[in-house]
C-alpha cells in the first residue's frame, strides 16, 4: 500500500515569506494556486482531504489578486495566498454539505461572512474539505462522505486525523495548502491539529464571524484557523480581524494542571507534557498550579447537554428516517439528545456562566497570561482502533464551555512518530494576547527548529 508519508510534498515557505515573494515578483498568486492545485491532484487520492476543488474560480481569484498587486492595491498579508474551507462554510452557488449526503442539495444563496472577509483580504479559496458529519465527532471519521488520512505516524500506519475539521487539518499537514478554515465546538480544530502535528487556533466565540456557517451549537461553535506554525496562524488572524491594540499582556506566568488532572494521559503523552513544561521553565516562564472551576471530567455533562441538544435542534428533520444516510455514532447522539429537558439545558447554561466568571477570577488572582495543558490524552489511533463510545476531547471541551480561546502547538512525538500537542488556553477576548504567548512558547519548545522550506515542486 502506498503510504501518505511517502507521497507528502515538501512544506510551503512561511506565509510571511510567501507574502513578501508575491510583492517583489518572485512568485505570483496564479503560480501559488496552480502549485496547490497540482499538489491536490497528485496527492489527495491518498489523503482524501478535499471534498471539492474549485480550479476555475481559484485561478480567476488568483489572477485578480495578481492584477491588484501590480496596480498597487494591496489587501494585506493574505493577498494572493491560497487556502481551503471546511465544508460547513457557505460559498454562494456551491453546496454546503456539513459532511452529510443529506445536505448535498443545500446550495448556498450567499457567501458566509468569513468568506467575504477572506475575499476582502485577498485570499484565494481552492476548495472545500471533508469533515465529520454535522461536525459531531472528534475522531475525524465519516462513513458516507470519506475519511481523511493523517499524514503523520509511521509509513505502515493509517491514523485518524481527528475531527471534526479533519480535512482542513490534513490539507495543511499534507502541504496541499498553506492554511485552512475549520470550526471548533469541543476541540474540532485543536484535536486534528494535535494529531496531525500542526497548529490549530480556536478564537473566542465570534472573534471570527459565524454567519453563513452551518451550526452544530450556537452556544459553543467558533470559526477557527489551521496553519503550519503559530506565526502563520497569527498572520491569518490579524489579517482577518485587525492588528492588536497597544498594551499587550507581557506576563510570562502560565497556569499548569495539577497531577490528578493529568492522570488520563498515556505514558508517552505524559512524558512529552512534562518535558514541554520543563522547557518553558528553562525559557523563563513561571509555572503556577491552576485548577479549573470544576474537575475536567465534570465539564462533560453540561457541555453535552448544550452541544448535543442544540445539534439535535438543527438536524432534527433528519432523525425520524432510520434509513437516512447518517453515521451511527452521530445518529445515536442526536436521537438521545431529544430526551434532554429544558431544565437540564438551562442548568447547563447557568453552570457555564458561573464557571466562566470563576475562571476569569482565578486567572486574575494568579496573574496568568495563559494555562498550559494537554490537547489529547493519547496520540492518534489507527482508523481500525477507534472507539466511538469515547471522544478525545477531555482536555479541549472546557475551553468551549467557558467561551475562551485556545491553541494547539506541536510539542513532540511518541515512539511511533505520532504527534503530540500542547494546548494553551487564554481569556475570553484575549486572542491576540494568547497568540503572542503561543509564539514565545513555540520558540521555547523548538528553539532550533529549521523554518519550513520554500515551496517547490514535489
Q: Do residues 188 and 150 make contact, with C-beta atoms less than 8 angstroms apart? A: no
CATH class of 10-297+342-455: alpha beta
Q: Give the mean model confidence (pLDDT) for residues 83-111.
A: 98
Residue 455 has pLDDT above 90, yes or no: no
Q: Before 4, cis peptide (omega within 30)?
A: no
Do strands 419-426 and 222-227 pair parallel, antiparallel, or not at all (unpaired)? unpaired
Of the listed 166, 168, 188, 369, which one is catalytic? 188
Residue 164 annotated as catalytic: yes
Residue 188 annotated as catalytic: yes
What contacts 202, CB < 8 A, 6 or more positions away?
184, 189, 190, 222, 224, 399, 400, 405, 406, 407
Which residues make beta-bridge pairs with 371? 255, 425
Burial degree of 278 (CB within 10 A; 0-12, 13-18, 19+): exposed
Q: How confident is the model at residue 3 (pLDDT cuts 50, 70, 90)?
A: very low
How far is Cα 452 from Cα 458, in angstroms, rounded to an integer?
Answer: 14
Angle 52-58-59 (CA atoms, 0-180°, nearest 5)?
135
Of the listed 28, 100, 164, 229, which one is catalytic? 164
Q: What percent of the chain has pLDDT over 70?
A: 95
How far is Cα 118 from Cα 125, in angstroms, rounded to an integer?
Answer: 8
Residue found under cell 497569527: 234
Task: Using alpha carbons, select from 63, 15, 361, 70 the residue that is nearest to residue 199.
Answer: 15
Q: Cα 63 to the chain's mean position, in Å? A: 29
Residue 300 annotated as catalytic: no
Alpha-carbon Rg for the chain in angstroms = 21
How far is Cα 254 from Cα 359, in angstroms, rounded to an integer?
Answer: 14
- Render pLDDT for 366-393 as a digit per residue (tens, 0 to 9): 999 999 999 999 999 999 999 999 999 9
- Render pLDDT for 118-129 as a digit per residue (tens, 0 to 9): 999 999 999 999
Q: Which pLDDT value is given to residue 43?
A: 97
Amino acid at each position: 500500500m502506498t503510504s501518505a508519508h511517502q507521497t507528502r510534498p515538501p512544506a510551503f515557505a512561511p506565509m510571511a515569506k510567501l507574502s513578501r515573494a508575491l510583492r517583489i515578483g518572485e512568485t505570483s498568486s496564479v503560480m501559488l494556486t496552480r502549485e496547490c492545485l497540482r499538489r491536490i491532484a497528485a496527492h489527495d487520492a491518498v489523503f482524501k482531504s478535499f471534498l471539492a476543488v474549485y480550479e476555475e474560480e481559484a485561478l480567476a481569484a488568483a489572477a485578480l489578486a495578481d492584477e491588484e498587486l501590480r496596480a498597487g492595491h494591496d489587501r494585506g498579508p493574505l493577498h494572493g495566498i491560497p487556502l481551503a474551507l471546511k465544508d460547513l462554510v457557505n460559498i454562494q452557488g456551491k453546496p454546503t454539505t456539513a459532511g452529510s449526503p443529506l445536505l448535498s442539495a443545500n446550495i448556498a444563496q450567499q457567501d458566509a461572512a468569513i468568506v467575504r472577509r477572506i475575499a476582502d483580504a485577498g485570499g484565494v479559496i481552492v476548495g472545500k474539505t471533508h469533515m465529520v458529519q454535522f461536525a459531531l465527532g472528534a475522531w475525524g471519521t465519516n462513513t458516507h462522505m470519506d475519511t481523511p488520512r493523517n499524514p503523520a505516524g509511521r509509513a505502515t500506519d493509517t491514523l485518524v486525523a481527528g475531527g471534526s475539521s479533519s480535512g482542513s487539518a490534513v490539507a495543511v499537514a499534507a502541504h496541499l495548502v498553506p492554511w485552512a478554515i475549520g470550526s471548533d465546538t469541543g476541540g474540532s480544530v485543536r484535536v486534528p491539529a494535535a494529531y496531525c502535528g500542526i497548529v490549530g487556533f480556536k478564537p473566542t466565540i465570534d472573534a471570527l464571524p459565524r454567519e453563513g456557517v452551518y451550526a452544530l451549537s450556537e452556544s459553543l461553535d467558533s470559526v477557527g484557523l489551521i496553519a503550519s506554525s503559530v506565526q502563520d496562524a497569527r498572520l491569518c488572524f490579524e489579517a482577518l480581524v485587525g492588528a492588536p491594540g497597544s498594551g499587550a499582556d507581557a506576563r510570562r506566568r502560565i497556569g499548569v494542571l495539577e497531577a490528578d488532572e493529568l492522570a488520563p494521559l498515556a505514558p508517552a503523552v505524559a512524558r512529552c507534557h512534562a518535558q514541554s513544561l520543563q522547557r518553558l521553565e528553562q525559557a523563563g516562564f513561571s509555572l503556577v498550579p491552576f485548577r479549573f472551576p470544576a474537575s475536567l471530567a465534570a465539564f462533560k455533562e453540561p457541555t453535552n447537554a448544550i452541544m448535543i441538544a442544540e445539534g439535535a435542534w438543527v438536524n432534527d428533520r433528519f432523525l425520524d428516517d432510520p434509513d437516512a444516510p447518517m453515521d451511527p455514532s452521530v445518529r445515536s447522539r442526536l436521537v438521545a439528545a431529544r430526551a434532554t429537558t429544558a431544565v437540564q439545558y438551562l442548568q447547563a447554561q447557568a453552570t457555564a456562566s458561573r464557571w466562566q466568571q470563576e475562571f476569569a477570577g482565578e486567572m486574575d488572582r494568579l496573574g496568568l497570561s495563559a494555562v498550559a495543558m494537554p490537547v489529547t490524552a493519547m496520540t492518534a489511533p489507527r482508523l481500525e482502533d477507534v472507539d466511538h463510545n469515547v471522544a478525545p476531547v477531555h482536555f479541549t471541551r472546557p475551553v468551549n464551555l467557558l467561551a475562551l480561546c485556545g491553541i494547539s502547538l506541536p510539542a513532540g512525538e511518541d515512539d511511533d512518530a505520532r504527534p503530540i500537542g500542547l494546548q494553551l488556553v487564554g481569556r475570553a477576548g484575549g486572542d491576540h494576547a494568547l497568540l503572542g504567548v503561543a509564539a514565545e512558547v513555540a520558540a521555547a519548545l523548538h528553539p532550533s527548529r529549521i523554518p519550513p522550506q520554500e515551496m517547490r515542486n514535489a
